[in-house]
Structure 1
Amino acid sequence: MKAGRLGTILMAAAIMCSACTRSSDSENQVKTADSKPAAARAYTVLAEHLKIPWSIQFDGDTIYVSEREGHIVQISGDSVTRQKVQLKKPVKHQGEGGFLGLQLSPDFAKTKQAYAYHTYEEGGKAYNRVIMLQKKNGGWEEVKAYLEGIPGAYTHNGGRLAIGPDQMLYVTTGDSGNDMLAQDMKSTAGKILRMTLDGKVPADNPFPGSYVYTYGHRNPQGIVWDKQGRMYNTEHGPSGDPGGHDEINLIEKGKNYGWPLIIGSAKKESMVSPLYHTGNTAIAPSGMTVDADGQLLFATLRGQKLYKYNPAANQLTTKLEGEGRLRDVKLHNGDVYVITNNTDGRGSPGASDDRLLLLKP
């Protein structure tokens, strides 16, 4: 039998087996690719045995991946090194909290500095903070805290960091399970925050003296800009009944995105409805990137797929599936990189999980 025919049969068998074993709770519907022959895979594995990876960053051909327990993994060719992160306030790793977003500074090659977002505990309560790190002596050390006291919880911590085309640092925060905080302008929960690269409130932020850029968010976990400078985010919708209603939003300065007062296609004066929502289906979208055609790629946890979203057609297509939970995706030099998240406590990890994948063209 020819190798191509054998690969096709094995892939079909794996898919049929996965379909037979899936439960009604899609949080636990995980299929790994360990049994697939290499020729049948849609990717190359660049690193494996990662521990709840969360964010992908690039310095040339060197890749850095944050891990929720409190490490940064450096991947350079065949070398994979787990590096310690020394913080002034220890990481509180519980539920969805921990060491989350990572963003290298624009001058990282010179300064070796980066921004990070992590959960910590104070007075018996969970909070999140934005800090600057310095890479030195084979590890990382905290240099300065930029913002602390962001409400945290077992779930809904947000955590994505990104530098916009305006050279400002953007931060997504969750509602920490207290949904009305998303509407409270005195709280940093349930927001997208914007700050200068040295941690100050920009003079042109929409609310004077405030880091708040937009509000009314439940648990935003992806942000990206296209070539025209338009900003998009991914966001988790409600749990329970109704559930689903995960969102893709066009983000505009100072706007209210409605949570918890509106979901899905509902409309309310002075509130923005999403470009796209999933109806009653939950996919739990996370990290996102944008391709040269302005289409959005985003990873999903519960949905266990990498999707491409076409804003012009308002349409989703599947680019990768069958690898379990996916946390982040990045486009670098025309190549697509994805991290799985099967070790996060809600998946069924395979023997080599979690993994950093380079998708084949």
Structure 2
Amino acid sequence: MIVRRRAVTAVSAVSALLLAAGCSAGGGNTPRSGNSVSSSGSAPGASAPGSSASGQGAEQTPPATGSVRVVRTVAADLKSPWGLAPLPDGGLLVSDRDGGTITRIDDKSGRKTLLGTVPGVSAAGEGGLLGIALSPDYASDHLVYAYFTTDSDNRIARMLYDTKKPAGEQLGAPNTVFKGIPKGMIHNGGRIAFGPDRMLYAGTGESGDRGLSQDRKSLGGKILRMTPEGEPAPGNPFGNSVVYSYGHRNVQGLAWDDKQRLFASEFGQDTWDEVNAIKPSDNYGWPVAEGKSSDTRFHNPIAQWHTDEASPSGIAYAEGSLWMAGLRGQRLWRIPLKGTEASAPPQAFLKGSYGRLRTVVSAGGNKLWLTTSNTDGRGKPSKTDDRILELEVS
């Protein structure tokens, strides 16, 4: 059941986005750590048609191979970091999945300021305080959105980030804007992001119940699109529904390219992880298909990996490529793009150097922020601390 608070504000009609996305699977591995190094390799990728071919011939194609340089460790000794949101005036907000807290990191000094604990977070299994995102009107409203697991569901709430409290900067009480997303010990999804259209997108998992992915009435195994108030966004493909695409297993990465096309990463089960170009209303196959399929009912991924090479979570777009963080694969993948297709085989960096990699976001230009996730996926910490890295990529 979906419950929403607050009526939707007037929203202008939104033109259809050109979209592209991907999915992949994975589990937990014993994490490893290492020194700051750059490394590279490649693996086969599978291409699929994008949602639109218009203008692709005029688009520049990035080089087949790229590079990654670790500039520095921004912050260390973090506890189960999951979501990451750069602030417009500098600094980073990071969510602690297991502790349910949000902390501000000074991106110059690494100093940590605890802003508060989100009430009602249940961190059992793969659930907890997951993705975070800033309001598209953050400069004026200072609202922070969070996706988190409770005792009964996964939901999205927003909180006022007050930087002028007498007692110091802190988060206000959460106001739930959307709830009723299925929860489980596994496959809770959790990535949220505001798109170029100023709508809120959420990647969900099927919570271990495979049948939910093909059920368009269920919120599990979907990409959702809603207004900032939690109402179905104008132009959604299934009428008065927040469902945007379906047939997903566990979506934890969302990113748009410079042409406003959406891509998503997805955990597979035993065979193929995926990155997909997302097209509204399309069916991405799970549980009937995992990875590429000859079944024309399903939208094929633009790239796929064996699950021990990826188990992807966050993705970001920079320098003409998607950059995808791998958990079990313990590496950062580069997927160069031409339109909504991969223009060359994916390339791997940082293999095993920092253990499991969770979230990657753009830091502007050719810079990325990257978080590690050296917790075993069930809340058990490893001997390796978690950190935020600054990367320079090409």
TM-score range, shorter chain: 0.7 to 0.9
Q: Tell me, yes or no, if structure 1 residue 62 matches structure 2 residue 91.
A: yes
How many Å apart are 1:26 and its aligned residue? 8.3
State the secondary structure of the residue aligned to 2:158: strand
Question: Residue 134 of structure 2 is aligned with which of 82, 90, 104?
Answer: 104
**1:241-287 deviation digits (Å, cap 9, x = unpaired):** xx130001010011110100111222323211211111464521010
- How far, CA to CA, are the matches of 1:30 and 1:290 in structure 2? 26
2:330: which partner in 1? Answer: 304
| Contact 2:307/2:329 (8 A) holds in 1 | no
In structure 2, distance between residues paired with 1:131 and 1:337: 24
3-state SS of paired residue (1:278)? strand
Mapped to 2, the partners of 1:301 and 1:280 lie a distance apart of 10
Answer yes or no: is the 8 Å Cα contact 2:309–2:330 preserved in 1.
no
- Counterpart Cα distance in 1 of 2:324 and 2:299: 21
Deviation at 1:152, TM superposition (A): 0.5
Return the offset for 1:156. Answer: 0.1
- Structure 1 position 155, deviation (Å): 0.6
State the distance in 2 between where 1:279 and 1:86 align.
Answer: 36
Counterpart in 1 of 2:66?
A: none
Structure 2 residue matching 1:246: 3-state secondary structure = strand
Using the TM superposition, give the Cα deviation of residue 299 of structure 1 relative to its aligned residue in structure 2, in angstroms.
0.4
* 2:298 matches 1:268: no
Give the one of 365, 368, 378 matched to 1:336. 368
Find the counterpart in structure 1 of residue 343 from structure 2.
313
Q: Which residue number in structure 1 is paired with residue 209 of structure 2?
A: 178
State the shift of 1:103 in Å.
0.3
- CA separation in 2, counterparts of 1:345 and 1:270? 33
Distance 2:216 2:377 in 1: 33
Q: 1:28: which partner in 2? A: 29
Which blocks of at least 5 consecutive residues in structure 2 are unaligned? 1-25, 38-68
Query: Over the residues paired in the alignment, what is the CA RMSD in angstroms?
Result: 2.1
- Quote the Cα distance in structure 2 between the aligned partners of 1:227 and 1:307: 19
Change (3 A) 1:340 1:235: same
Count the aligned residue pairs. Answer: 321
Structure 1 contact 43–360 (Cα < 8 Å) conserved: yes
Instruction: With a CA cutoff of 8 Å and minimum separation of 6, indicate the structure with the bigger relative contact order.
Output: 2
Deviation string, structure 1 residues 291-321 (Cα, Å, up to 9, x no partner): 132x100101000001101234241112323
Whole-angstrom distance in 2 between the partners of 1:105 and 1:36: 34
Whichever structure has more helix as a proportion of its residues is 1
Show the 5 A alignment for 1:224-243.
Answer: 224-238=255-269, 243=270
In structure 2, relative to structure 1, the CA distance for the partners of 1:86 and 1:100 (3 Å cut) is: closer
Deviations 1:216-263 (A, max 9, x none): 00001101111112111100001xxxx130001010011110100111
C-alpha offsets along residues 92-126 of structure 1, whole Å, 9 cap, x if unaligned? 0011100001001122233210111000013xxxx
Identical residues among aligned pairs (%) = 38
Deviations 1:135-184 (Å, cap 9, x if unpaired)?
Answer: 13432233421111110001100000011111110001000000110011
Select 1:257's aligned residue among 271, 275, 284: 284
Is 1:120 aligned to 2:150, yes or no? yes
Match of residue 358 from structure 1: 390
Indicate if the aligned counterparts of 2:31 and 2:376 stay in contact, CA closer than 8 A: no
Paired with 2:135 and 2:175, the residues of 1 have a C-alpha distance of 14
2:123 partner amino acid: H
Q: Output the CA distance in 1 between the equivalents of 2:255 and 2:75.
A: 25
The 1:26–1:307 alpha-carbon spacing in structure 2 relative to 1, beyond 3 Å, is same
Cα distance 1:289–1:280, how it changes in 2: closer, same or farther (>3 A)?
closer
1:278 aligns with 2:305: yes
Among candidates 273, 284, 308, match of residue 246 of structure 1: 273
Match of 2:78 in 1: 50
> Residues of 2 paired with 1:28 and 1:107: CA distance?
39
TM-superposition CA deviations, 1:44-75 (whole Å, max 9, x none): 11111111101111113211111102111101
Equivalent residues of 1:306, 1:319 under 8 A apart: yes
Distance 1:191 1:211 in 2: 10
Residues 1:152 and 2:148 aligned together = no
